[in-house]
Amino acid sequence: MKVLQYLALVFVLALTSVSANAEVKIGLIDMRAALFSSKAAQAYSDKMVADYKQQDLEVRAVSEAAQKLEMRLQNDAAIMSDSERAKLAADLEEKVQEFRYLKTKLDKALAEKRQEFLEQSRPNLDTVIQKLVEKESLDLILPREAALYAAPGMDYTSQIIEMLDALK
């Protein structure tokens, strides 16, 4: 939130510091959408899905096993002995903990891979933005999220995606 306030302040200061006759050309870019909508991002995503397919299947299997134990405990609890019920509850708790562990591990690995992609892609994004600034004679570029309203012609996200796709 502070970043948005800071960007809004910079935006206002930039507009007020320019003389009344000069026109400031402003562009907006949804950087996250630009990066993750590119062909490179799609290829990286496909590779991640393939690389982590086994872990995802394991998480799903443990989740299904936990759900089956829970259903059995709910449906058969009345006809089970106390020791059976306690053992089943302990088995369920063990499966739930295993699920949480595996899910957290998978989520962390995927987040690290997404961050790795962002870091690898940042130089290309910077290059493309610089080319766009020169091509369109932009004076200021802001993140799309910082604008409450913008005319459709101010959003350059689709052009950034096209330029990123053209790099490779």
* Residue 132 near residue 160, CB atoms below 8 Å: yes
Output the pLDDT for position 131. 96
The rounded radius of gyration (Å) of the Cα atoms in the chain is 25
Residues with Cβ within 8 Å of residue 3, at least 6 apart in sequence: none
The whole-number average pLDDT for the span 118-126 is 93
Residues facing 27 on adjacent strands: 141
Instruction: Report pLDDT digits (tens) over 23-61.
Output: 889 999 999 999 999 999 999 999 999 999 999 999 999
CATH superfamily of 2-167: Skp domain (3.30.910.20)
Instruction: Report pLDDT digits (tens) over 106-117.
Output: 999 999 999 999
Tokens of 138: 């932009």
Report d(CA 10, CA 4) in Å as an integer: 10
Is pTM, for the whole model, over 0.75? no
Residues with Cβ within 8 Å of residue 65, at least 6 apart in sequence: 95
| In the chain, domain spans | 2-167
Where does residue 26 rank: exposed (0-12), middle (13-18), buried (19+ CB within 10 A)?
Answer: middle
